[in-house]
Structures are given as structure tokens and as C-alpha cells.
């Protein structure tokens, strides 16, 4: 039984929260939020979960620096409240500009949307994006391309 629990824990990616718990955690921790918009039928969502979110360095960086939220984009029953308005998951997905899956949306530590990242992103490309967002390089007028050349100057 213990071996099974360890094996299950080792295969999990980030610690996923629902939207309300994620926003509450953001307020307590002062960390930015990563929202993973997914669907059950989406092949690339499963690949992203396994290969990107499950990769050790990405997993550790997310745990240390982000609040991670997972949202089933096609759920018409579940609801989220954002900025005083209540949405179904479908409505919220549209409100955040998500049109394909997987899509990751980043919110800053106050809940303000930063950017949206559509499609599958391999772990080795995703980690620099996380560092760019966490370092708030976008607020320092540093392009992502510039960041990739001079990462140490933004962090």
C-alpha cells in the first residue's frame, strides 16, 4: 500500500487547486497563479500534464513559486467567481480568451491576467516562461526574447 502511494505521488504533476481555493491561496501567499484550462478528450492536455507539469524541474518550480489551478473548460455546471461575477467553466473559459486546449493563463499576484499560452509546451521551453512570469520581467519592459538572452538580469 505504501509503495502504491509513493508511486502515485511521484507521477503527479503540480498540486492542482480548484479556482476558489487557488485565488484564496494567491491572496495568502502573494504568488502568481497558473490556470490550466483542459478538457477530458484533449490528447495534448494529457501530454502536457505528463511531460511538462510532471517534469521534475517544472514541478518543483511551480510548487515553489506559483499557485496552480486546473479548470475543466467544458464543465457547464461548475461555477467560478472572478471579480464579482459568477461564470460556468465554459463561460469563464471564453471570458479568459481561451479557444483551444490546452491553454495556460497566468494571473499576477493580485489576480490580474498577465497572458495566455495556448497549446502544448515542452518542459524545457516552459520552465523559462515560468521564470519570466515569476520574475515579473514583463513589468520591467523586457521582452521574452531579451529575457532568454539575459535571464540573470531580470530575476
pLDDT tens digits, residue range 42-80?
999 999 999 999 999 999 999 999 999 999 999 999 999
Q: What is the pLDDT of residue 12?
A: 47
Q: What is the pLDDT of residue 96?
A: 97
Residue 143 in any domain: the answer is no
Q: What is the pLDDT of residue 60?
A: 97
Position of cell 467567481? 81
Check: CB of residue 29 under 8 Å from CB of residue 67: yes
Residue 105 in any domain: the answer is yes
Q: What is the pLDDT of residue 118?
A: 97
Q: What is the pLDDT of residue 14?
A: 65
Q: What is the pLDDT of residue 152?
A: 67
Check: CB of residue 67 under 8 Å from CB of residue 130: no
CATH at residue 58: 3.40.30.10
Q: What is the pLDDT of residue 151?
A: 67
Residue 128 in any domain: the answer is no
Residue 52 in any domain: the answer is yes
Number of domains in the chain: 1
Helices 56-65 and 123-134 pack at an angle, to 10 degrees, of 20
Q: What is the pLDDT of residue 149?
A: 85
- pLDDT averaged over 10-residue windows placed end to end, the chain, 155 residues: 40 77 96 98 98 97 97 97 97 97 97 97 96 92 86 67
Residue 79 in any domain: the answer is yes
Helix/strand/coil (H, E, C) string of the chain?
Answer: CHHHHHHHHHHCCCCCECHHHHHHHHHHHCCCEEEEEECCCCHHHHHHHHHHHCCHHHHHHHHHHCEEEEEECCCCCCEEEECCEEEEHHHHHHHCCCCCCCEEEEECCCCCEEEEEECCCCHHHHHHHHHHHHCCHHHHCCCHHHHHHCHHHCC
Residue 51 in any domain: the answer is yes
Residue 117 in any domain: the answer is yes
Cell reading at 116:
495566455
Residue 152 in any domain: the answer is no
Question: Which domain range does residue 18 map to?
Answer: 13-121
Amino acid at each position: 500500500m505504501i509503495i502504491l502511494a509513493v508511486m502515485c505521488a511521484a507521477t503527479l504533476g503540480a498540486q492542482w487547486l480548484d479556482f476558489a481555493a487557488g485565488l484564496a491561496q494567491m491572496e495568502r501567499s502573494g504568488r502568481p497563479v497558473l490556470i490550466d484550462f483542459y478538457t477530458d478528450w484533449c490528447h495534448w492536455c494529457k501530454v502536457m500534464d505528463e511531460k511538462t507539469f510532471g517534469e521534475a524541474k517544472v514541478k518543483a518550480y511551480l510548487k515553489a513559486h506559483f499557485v496552480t489551478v486546473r479548470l475543466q473548460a467544458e464543465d457547464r455546471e461548475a461555477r467560478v467567481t472572478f471579480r464579482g461575477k459568477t461564470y460556468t467553466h465554459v463561460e469563464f473559459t471564453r471570458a479568459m480568451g481561451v479557444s483551444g486546449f490546452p491553454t495556460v493563463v497566468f494571473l499576477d499576484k493580485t489576480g490580474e491576467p498577465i497572458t495566455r499560452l495556448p497549446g502544448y509546451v515542452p518542459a524545457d521551453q516552459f520552465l523559462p516562461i515560468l521564470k519570466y512570469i515569476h520574475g515579473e520581467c514583463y513589468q520591467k519592459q523586457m521582452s521574452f526574447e531579451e529575457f532568454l538572452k539575459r535571464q540573470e538580469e531580470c530575476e
